[in-house]
Structure 1
């Protein structure tokens, strides 16, 4: 794969903790509005520009994209950002509690996405791709990096360690969720670039819609440029590449709002014929092929029949639960679109109990987190994960390092 240095536009150090913001797609409009309230520097004013427009504004209206471009230009004019003099690659540390992960920030080539060097595990929705593509073209910048992972290489680890040991961090701050973010310039970007040429492939961990939008924007700008050379900024997209072994995936639970017309007794009877059910005194410790269930005020362990298929998707617990329970018993035929099912990512059993007690879930299924190896196996097979399978934590920040297209 290719990871290129770039001349980042980045916040001045005194403002970085105010500018850097959660990704646009982990907050809705009201959450973004609350997070940005009283903070005129937040990148959410760019990435979720509808928060500055009248309540009820369609977030996909042209006015929103125009406002995003206006705000971004104003941020630049008011010198919230500085421009690197030379192309750089950056080391990016995220630390949450005892968990630490070191990534390298640079630009990937859109061709590596198109030809499958950068692999996907998730379907994208056309309307969400179109939204970010319109936003990217309006702002002429990529402020949210694509979150990549790769099978680690000792040579790259050594370059990261050298940068952290030798260089003073450009930034080092803790966000509102208690996540530490630190950024260093890699002292030898050419060495990093050369080391990544020995990485055969990378995988999108998070940011499938962002990646698709950046590639779409690049293709459109290429088609509109009769003097296209191939080295224009639109041929590349902003990314952070982490060694897969350093990453943490949290569970993504399933919450079903009703029993699809079944009584509680009927549900348990049919469930017992499909899977093995064991009542437990509390949230169960889970092994391979198991999930938890909170129903009727009690916790249960569900032992799922794991098929001997070679298909890595069919062996996922979320797939087995869908095929054995959610579909045939509860009538959830398409979990991507059925309004009766909700998903709770990165939370513990107490949150599932709260959702059930509040009437938001008639039954909640506690899932084990998938592994990075499972995700990469699915992508290598050219398949897609079931919806809401991966909750990578912590999330990247937007507005921290920006790749401009002009």
Structure 2
């Protein structure tokens, strides 16, 4: 049973929503970030980057205090205001090729600790602790975690009903995406949504693993510090965007390797040939068409690698995942990559566009070899998670990517 709750969001005024909201901070190039900070005084990026005007380094503790101060300034200037009634928020993001629509709500840290909310990849403790400090110092979170759930007729019916009405927000951004938001504060519909999610046994984290873990760590800490803890305090919940599984898009990451671990190209092909059938594609761009098949670019030529089933043993759901197969058969034993998350020899790049990046990055001389694969499916993700296993890092690049500060959750 998944616990979801309406909450009183802090939101930008209708006339400033397009100017205030932003992409994730890391999504901007330095030039883009500078332009936003220089020419848009309403951008939420001013809150995230409050030391910009000082042009000097500050400690993370000082920065978090400045973030809180700037956030308070935005509220006092009426760029933001808090809703009077708890609500769910329908958020629709239309890209040039796809439409995503789900519900922003508060979800329970208790569900994460009880394995109702499940993760599919591991997190870094250093990042967890840093974001936990950020949440405690600033007192708010402005970017929801992306959770996915099985399609539900009751929830879909409520969403479609509201989509026929005028949105609270409706604007288009320079990436040609349009953004719409509706507020659900009707008690009957809130009850229907809450009850519908009680039938959902598992919510899967699609994006935002570190934010989820940090929020839940902070919830435990604040509960211990609060002598009058009831379990209903805002810190016991975190903001999530709940999206039906059918709308989730999963893309793969390509792998780029800096050296051949002391092998020459011929020796590498011999070692790989013990586990894979190798077909040279020459200059023909090759992209896998089936599971257990990989593309490789080496010395100016593409290769198709197909797993020899006789040379590999499937032992569990994770062993069937292409990213895991590549690691256990090639990256680790042949190319000497032990720590797939932190080894500087390997670099990842999401392959949403199916570009020729596999070729161009190797041709540049920065890398010796590259590998591509098909994206994982939602079924693979769920099977692995339900078996209490974790995918290797950089297995999935998931969309939609959410905007910050359309709704803000205060702890």
**So what's the TM-score if we normalise by structure 1?**
0.93
Conserved 8 A contact 2:117-2:203: yes
* Unmatched 5+ stretches in structure 1: none
Q: 1:183 to 1:308 in 2, by over 3 A?
A: farther
Inter-partner Cα distance in structure 2 for 1:284 and 1:118:
34
Instruction: Kindly indicate whether residue 285 of structure 2 is the aligned counterpart of residue 282 of structure 1.
Output: yes
Instruction: Kindly indicate whether residue 156 of structure 2 is the aligned counterpart of residue 150 of structure 1.
Output: no
Instruction: Kindly indicate whether residue 314 of structure 2 is the aligned counterpart of residue 295 of structure 1.
Output: no
Deviates more, 1:25-34 or 1:368-377: 25-34
Aligned residues: CA RMSD = 2.0
Inter-partner Cα distance in structure 2 for 1:361 and 1:31:
28
What residue in structure 1 maps to residue 348 of structure 2?
Answer: 343
Inter-partner Cα distance in structure 1 for 2:406 and 2:84:
17
Instruction: Kindly indicate whether residue 202 of structure 2 is the aligned counterpart of residue 201 of structure 1.
Output: yes
Instruction: Kindly indicate whether residue 367 of structure 2 is the aligned counterpart of residue 361 of structure 1.
Output: yes
SS in 2 for 1:239: strand
Conserved 8 A contact 1:107-1:238: yes
SS in 1 for 2:318: coil
Instruction: Kindly indicate whether residue 339 of structure 2 is the aligned counterpart of residue 334 of structure 1.
Output: yes
What residue in structure 2 maps to residue 21 of structure 1?
Answer: 22
What residue in structure 2 maps to residue 102 of structure 1?
Answer: 101
SS in 2 for 1:314: helix
* 1:50 to partner: Cα distance: 5.4
Candidates 168, 178, 181, aligned match of 1:180: 178
Inter-partner Cα distance in structure 2 for 1:201 and 1:160:
21
Inter-partner Cα distance in structure 2 for 1:48 and 1:113:
30
Q: How does 1:223-238 map to 2 (within 5 A)?
A: 223-238=224-239
Instruction: Kindly indicate whether residue 9 of structure 2 is the aligned counterpart of residue 3 of structure 1.
Output: no
Q: 1:39 to 1:232 in 2, by over 3 A?
A: same
What residue in structure 2 maps to residue 169 of structure 1?
Answer: 167
Q: 1:328 to 1:183 in 2, by over 3 A?
A: same
SS in 2 for 1:324: helix
Q: 1:56 to 1:264 in 2, by over 3 A?
A: farther
* 1:40 to partner: Cα distance: 2.8
* 1:180 to partner: Cα distance: 2.2
Deviates more, 1:91-100 or 1:31-40: 31-40
Q: 1:30 to 1:386 in 2, by over 3 A?
A: farther
Conserved 8 A contact 1:110-1:237: yes
What residue in structure 2 maps to residue 314 of structure 1?
Answer: 319
Deviations 1:173-225 (A, max 9, x none): 22333322211123522211111111111010000110111112222222222
